[in-house]
Structure 1
Amino acid sequence: MRELTVVPVPGPGAEDVLIGHDGTAYTGTADGSILAVSSDGDTIRRIGNTGGRPLGLEWLPEGRILVCDAHRGLLTMRLDTGAVEVLADSVDGRRMRFCNNAAITADGTIWFSDSSAKWGIEEWKSDLIEDTRTGRLLRLGVGESEPEVVLEGLCFANGVAAGADSSFVVVAETGTRVLRRVWLRGPHEGERDLFASDLPAHPDNIARGSDGLIWVTYASPTDPALTFLQTKAKPWVKLAVLRA
């Protein structure tokens, strides 16, 4: 087993990690910062600040990264200047509440999740307790400004990953412990199915590894109390828990 090294960063809540060709690791923190950590962990510099709460990160051309910001939507940031541009912050005229994670397919299409249409990141537990199922998987084509809803009714949409050949996209549904797949081309084009179900814990970020596999991180073990609230609790019980 590999030795685990903890690298402290100057900010709370480090989220997604993006690795550059030189081994530099990029991550975002709760104060809005995007940080670059050298491969040996000895040097940390601040690239810029989104003015929100950065979560998922992905590579874009021309020295930019894609940032899923829970407060501000889908953004880009330049690595040389830290300049931020908003790609999309609303869907069908309504502001996104919880932009979370993304993947980019070979044609440049951005596939990203909006975890909840009701609760923001500060109240993420409320979405799971209430079981709103308002999470969505969205797509934004190259040159487009209006995202398209591809999947809806998800129980806290979270991590997003694309297949190695860009023939499908997978989104993690945290509340129900499943990974859902959308086929983009091939004999199953247009179909939706379960990529994995009955996971042993609640999935968070997911990513395609260099081995072509979809790797899954877990936010927490299976929670019997949450399962009860989602499947058996009466509305007044959920309301009491939300107010507690």
Structure 2
Amino acid sequence: MNLLHNQAIPVEHDGAVVDVVADIRPAGPDVVLLLHGLSATKESFADITASPALAHLTTCAIDLPGHGRTAPLPSGAHTLEAYAELVVRVVARLAPIRLHVVGHSLGGAVGLIAAQGAKNLVSYTSVEGNLVAEDAGLVSRQIADLELEDFAVNEFHRFVDSLKAAPEADLRAWGEWTATCSPTAVHESARSLVEWSDSGKLVDWYRAMPNTAYLYGSLGDRAEHLVPLLDESTTFAIPDSGHFPMVDNPRALYSALAAIIGH
């Protein structure tokens, strides 16, 4: 199955057209929509195409505005609400018979907001997604606490360089993705992510939704502060992985995802 790179999906936002860039692997009428995390890109889900158990599903990984190959929004802030609105419009263009939403970190929160009221949604899977205040970790809070100019002029490039120089493969990958992002989009979305994580709304919405699943890295801290708040029958630990299981253990991640949505 060929992966179609950099397909622009034009959608309307605030009176302008935004070209949301996507990697689409066409298959059946059911669509798996993949939403990346803070200062990441659609490439974070590249290994999903190697999962035979998901080969019968169309996959669509998008770059949110200001991330990767999708340009920043022409007007308005890069908030989770704005991203969710665009996701809803992208889904309308894709017109799936059955929709599966999968979001990592920030993308998990965006997907959850977008999923409210969705009529064709079959499943929602959060991968290390933000649901409670503790999920907005040190990085997002440090970015949010900075003034935009200071972050854009000074700290953004230091952040990228520190990630690229890290000994861990997942952090180095994150650095490569972050380098393609708009500092303004990263800063504004980090602030929005902290606000939403602190609001208490996300975990309530998650617990009220049917057909949800939460996948988390076994080496991270989600098992301590978040999993006890969820129905443990819907939570799955991805072995030998931290916050980026799609880098640390993609085979196990997509095997778990296939068990959830691959029917």
TM-score, L = length of structure 1: 0.29
Q: Which has the higher contact order (CA 8 A, sep 6+)?
A: 2
Point out the structure with the larger helix share: 2
Q: Which has the larger radius of gyration?
A: 1
Point out the structure with the larger strand share: 1
TM-score, L = length of structure 2: 0.28
